[in-house]
């Protein structure tokens, strides 16, 4: 019998460690019918081969610095800028102009509007503004200020967007005044929480379709989220 047949035999004497490495003791028991000389030879040759003896080492996740994130946001700028852009399937990022153009939103098939600049002295739309349309409204009164804690809304907004996108034929617009800081931040948080992206991956995904520029305080809050999610997934 060859070694290949023994290694893939479903018998109870062959096992793996949790890390994916072959347990030497289990392998010895599986090969107990072979001669000592043959076993010694395989221990010196086959069991030392990386594909059998150990798993490939994956480098630990390196959290991005604030400076590297700001550099990434500046270097990967897109050539054009419009009022509204689809940055993820059925998820749009836009500004106040796009949010107020109800006919355009309906034409695009938008079903849900998330306003991250709600309030009387900001983008004052609200559920009343969209009355008589098929648009569902969700508002957050956030300031584009590095000291404003937007992170408290990361999970609720991510859940809202996820539930909306899970509905057939639903499309979501997330907007603020300019569509580059507050709304961009919660879209990045959604991609990190619900699509398992790192912060850098999320930024690169969105910037493929629209220029964004979260303020330094929001970037720090996203860094905290990134570290927590990577820690929970065992990457830190």
Supply the DSSP symbol for 115: E
pLDDT, position 235: 73
Distance CA 105, CA 173 (A): 8
80-131 per-position pLDDT tens digit: 679 999 999 999 999 999 999 999 999 999 999 999 999 999 999 999 999 9
Q: Indicate if 199 and 88 belong to the same structural domain.
A: yes
Nearest CA to 152 among 119, 124, 185?
185
CATH number where 216 lies = 3.90.190.10
The tally of CA atoms less than 13 A away on the side-chain side of residue 181 is 16
Q: Please tell me the predicted confidence (pLDDT) of residue 62.
A: 86
Distance CA 186, CA 192 (A): 10
Q: Does any domain span residue 33?
A: yes
Q: What is the pLDDT of residue 18?
A: 40
Q: Tell me: do 143 and 208 sit in the same domain.
A: yes
Q: Which of 15, 26, 32, 176 is catalytic?
A: 176
Compute CA distances 167 → 58, 106, 157, 171, 224, whole Å.
37, 17, 16, 9, 30
**136 and 226 share one domain:** yes
pLDDT value for 40: 46
pLDDT of amino acid 26: 41
Q: Are both 32 and 96 inside the same structural domain?
A: no
Same domain, 105 and 41: no
Residues 38 and 89 in one domain: no
Q: Distance (Å, rounded) from C-alpha 37 to C-alpha 41?
A: 6
Q: Which of 216, 227, 220 is nearest to 145 (CA)?
A: 216
Tell me the residue range of the domain where 216 lies.
66-232
Do 20 and 83 fall within a single domain?
Answer: no
Burial 136-145 (b: 16+ CB within 10 A, else e): bbbbbebebe
107 shares a domain with 219: yes
Q: Is 213 a catalytic residue?
A: no
8 Å CB contact between 91 and 172:
yes
Sign, Cα dihedral of 45, 46, 51, 55: negative
Q: Are residues 71 and 133 in the same domain?
A: yes
Residues of the chain under the 50 pLDDT cut: 1-53
Domain count, the chain: 2
Strand partners, 175: 94, 115
Contacts of 26 (CB under 8 A, 6+ apart): 13, 14, 15, 16
CA quadruple 186, 156, 102, 100: dihedral sign: negative
Same domain, 37 and 104: no
What pLDDT is stored for residue 9 in this prediction?
A: 40
pLDDT at 57 (0 to 100): 56
Assigned domain for 61 exists: no
């Amino acid at each position: 019998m060859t070694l290949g047949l023994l290694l893939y035999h479903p018998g109870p004497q062959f096992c793996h460690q949790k890390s994916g490495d072959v347990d030497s003791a289990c392998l010895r028991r599986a090969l107990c019918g072979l001669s000592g000389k043959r076993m010694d030879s395989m221990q010196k040759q086959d069991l030392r081969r990386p594909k059998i003896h150990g798993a490939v080492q994956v480098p630990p996740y390196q959290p991005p610095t604030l400076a590297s994130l700001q550099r990434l946001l500046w270097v990967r700028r897109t050539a054009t800028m419009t009022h509204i852009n689809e940055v993820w399937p059925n998820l749009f990022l836009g500004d106040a102009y796009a949010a107020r153009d109800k006919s355009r939103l309906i034409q695009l098939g938008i079903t849900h509007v998330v306003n991250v600049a709600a309030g009387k002295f900001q983008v004052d739309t609200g559920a009343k503004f969209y009355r008589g349309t098929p648009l569902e409204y969700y508002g957050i009164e956030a300031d584009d200020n590095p000291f404003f804690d937007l992170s408290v809304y990361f999970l609720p907004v991510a859940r809202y967007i996820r539930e909306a996108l899970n509905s057939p034929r639903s499309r979501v617009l997330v907007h603020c005044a300019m569509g580059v800081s507050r709304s961009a931040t919660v879209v990045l948080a959604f991609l990190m929480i619900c699509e398992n992206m790192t912060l850098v991956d999320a930024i690169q995904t969105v910037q493929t379709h629209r220029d964004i520029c979260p303020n330094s305080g929001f970037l720090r809050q996203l860094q905290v989220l990134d570290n927590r999610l990577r820690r929970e997934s065992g990457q830190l």
